[in-house]
Chain A
Amino acid sequence: MHEISEDMITEAADGDINAFEQIYKKTSGFVYNVALRLAGNKHDAEEITQDVFITIHKKLSGYRFESSLKTWIYRITYNLSINYLKKRSKERHRNISYDDAMANPETNLEAIEAKTDKIEEDEEGHIEKMLSELNPDQKACIILRSLEGLSYREIAEALKININTVRSRIKRAREALLAFRKNEATECEA
């Protein structure tokens, strides 16, 4: 992430929309990518990114420079992504019963998204499949470490958890990924 000066943050917090646009330009890339990996499709990633920046704009005057802006933004992104995904999951369960979805595949939003909106291409699709094997906490740790390159300490700060919890989540996630790859290889051989 490019450096963002304290002056720029203060100006944005005071309501300067141009300063806020600069912050958006410097940080929207990683917010969008984290949201995209957590949500698994572009539509939800856009919604989450929009929510993240509206929240940042609201809360920026309360930002106290205690943690880095990057960590603070990762924390907001993670929290809003998890909330968004929980809400979406509840809505889907309410709107589409299992029987309906099976009887009429066109009403299955997952299927529609898979056709139109999922992250394309083989390699990307493969990463997507691997991430779908993990629970949200493990997924967040793997995304922040393996895709965003955060250190264990930065992940711990961003998710507000102990560094050893980060370590154990990454360990379990990678064990699950290894098992998934092994199953894949077995299926291919068969």
Chain B
Amino acid sequence: MTCKKIQELLLTDYADGETNAGQNEMIRKHIVSCRVCKELEAKIQADIIRPFQKTRRMEPPAHLWYRVKTTIESNQKPPLPALIFEKIKKSFQIQKPVYAFSTAAIMLFIAIIVTASPHYFYKIRNQQLANKSLEDQINYLTRSNGYADNGEITALGTGIEEYFL
């Protein structure tokens, strides 16, 4: 291993106990024979590792929990006017799934009306025309058979009969 690689490990993994047993052995052997790396290792330990180990931990002040607790409780319970306003607002709101469902139902209804109504209209219209046509045919036949509108016989119906009679 080169000095550069050893120095990199001295600054990081070796100093922090992240190297494995094999790497530790290799680094120790190198340090014994390399003055520059040995000095660097001593400097790292003295200047930037040990000072951090000596620092004392601070305790958070006792009042901090009460500040946290008070904030949490005030966040949980909104003031009364806000609570009433929120309730009123909610009562006017339509929930999204309901809104989507009702829109879909309305669209479906409109689609059915649009597609089915011409068909229904023409069906009725055809029926009316058929009825009228049948009525006209009956009227025509009754007239041509010698029946008057009041049902009295006005003719015998054929030209041959008229000739002999």
Which partner residue on chain A sits nearest B10 by CB separation?
A174
Size band of the B side of the interface?
20 to 34
**How far, in angstroms, from A123 to B53 measured CA to CA in the complex?**
11
Which partner residue on chain A sits nearest B68 by CB separation?
A53
Of A15, A147, A170, which is within 8 A of B11 by CB? A170
**How far, in angstroms, from A172 to B5 measured CA to CA in the complex?**
14
Interface majority SS on A: helix, strand, loop or mixed?
A: helix
Q: Is the CB of A126 within 8 A of B60?
A: no
Interface majority SS on B: helix, strand, loop or mixed?
A: helix
Q: Is the CB of B59 within 8 A of A29?
A: yes
What's the nearest-Cβ distance from chain A to residue B48, in Å? 5
- Residues of chain A from 152 to 190 with CB closer than 8 A to chain B in the complex: 152, 167, 170-171, 174-175, 177-178, 181
Q: Is the CB of B44 within 8 A of A127?
A: no
**How far, in angstroms, from A164 to B61 measured CA to CA in the complex?**
37
| Complex interface: chain A residues within 8 A of B73 (CB) | 17
Binding site for B on A (CB under 8 A): 15, 17, 20-21, 24-25, 28-29, 31-33, 36, 46, 49-50, 53-54, 57, 119, 123-124, 126-127, 130, 142, 145-147, 151-152, 167, 170-171, 174-175, 177-178, 181
Binding site for A on B (CB under 8 A): 8, 11-13, 15-16, 18, 43-44, 47-49, 51-61, 64-65, 67-69, 71-73, 75-76
